[in-house]
Amino acid sequence: MSPFEHHRVRANGINMHYVQAGEGPCVVLLHGFPETWYAWRHQIGPVAARYRVIVPDLRGYGATEKPATGYDKRTMANDIRDLLRVLEIEKVAIIGHDRGARVGTRFVKDHQDVTTCFAALDNIPTKVIFENMNAEVAQAAWFFLFQGIRDLPEALIHGREELWLRSILTSWTYNPHALSEDTLSVYTKAYSQPGGLRGAFEDYRAWRSDFEQDKSDASKSIGCPVLSLWGADYEAAKMVDMAAIWSAMAPKLQTLAVAQSGHLPHEEQPDQVTAALLNFVDQFHRSA
């Protein structure tokens, strides 16, 4: 397994932290909520055996800067684009989970010239969520609404980060013990640091801008090959037809529902997900 190298660089006006491993064509892994780069710990080594892997903490998360603004997905995608410019990377495969998939979706729409392929893990696009908002969706997506409130979530959760994370992560996984205590401690430390909650919640508070950006180019298909992968046993994913949602956005679509997995398939079923991601990327990115 290639060692993880931690780096910091200034990109798009913020100080970004990223992990790097391997050599060759570049694969970027974008984490979701409530995670950091560490979410991809199972994938980095195997992917780095074939590719150069870049794993950033998104704006507002982990060890990356947490500015007051810039959490709309176009700006967050531009963070990644500028990171690639700084690192002199010309072509990339993008893999994103949850919030990272939202950033990735905006990236592959806005920067088609540098994207060879895109994998979205367990993500219902923002436009779909808010166009179909009703009582059932609101209950399933309660955290969208709660974390979108100004100041109150930070006040209620501060000092109780471990309790909050344990509740979310155990309810989102098929096996509530899928994540170890050590993993929970890593995430608790990240969200307990100054600005740790604020950064993540500003990501959710940008939903209005994200919704408008999604609507503005809804008719624009994602041109590159896309893999939509999700946890077959995640309740929110069962409420929608994931394959239909993504096929409407991406004509070159492959899909995979991962059995005995909730919202965190890359952490719950890492071997199966890693194999699926490598099989997908190998098809379109080996000679990039």
Amino acid residing at 5? E
Contacts of residues 271-275 at CB distance under 8 Å and 24 or more positions apart, as own/partner, are: 271/42, 273/42, 273/43, 273/121, 273/229, 274/42, 274/43, 274/46, 274/47
Q: Is the peptide bond before 34 cis (omega within 30 degrees of 0)?
A: yes
Residue written as token pair 């959490």:
71
Q: Does residue 247 sit in helix, strand or coil?
A: helix
Nearest CA among 168, 147, 141 for reference residue 237: 141
Residue 251 and residue 225: Cα distance in Å, rounded?
8
Indicate which residue of 61, 204, 210, 266 is catalytic. 204
Report the alpha-carbon distance of residue 250 to residue 270 in Å, rounded: 25
Cα(265)–Cα(275) distance, rounded to whole angstroms?
12
17, 31, 263, 266: the active-site residue? 263
> Could you confirm whether 38 is annotated as catalytic?
no
User: Which one of 98, 122, 210, 214 is the catalytic residue?
Assistant: 98
- The helix (run of H) or strand (run of E) holding residue 256 is strand 253-258
Active site residue 204: yes
Query: How long, in residues, is the chain?
Result: 288
Distance CA 79, CA 99 (A): 14
Structural element, H or E, at residue 64:
none
Q: Residue ranges of the alpha helices (H) in the chain? A: 41-48, 73-86, 99-110, 126-131, 135-140, 142-146, 152-157, 161-172, 181-192, 196-205, 207-216, 235-238, 242-249, 265-268, 270-285
Just list the catalytic residues.
98, 204, 263
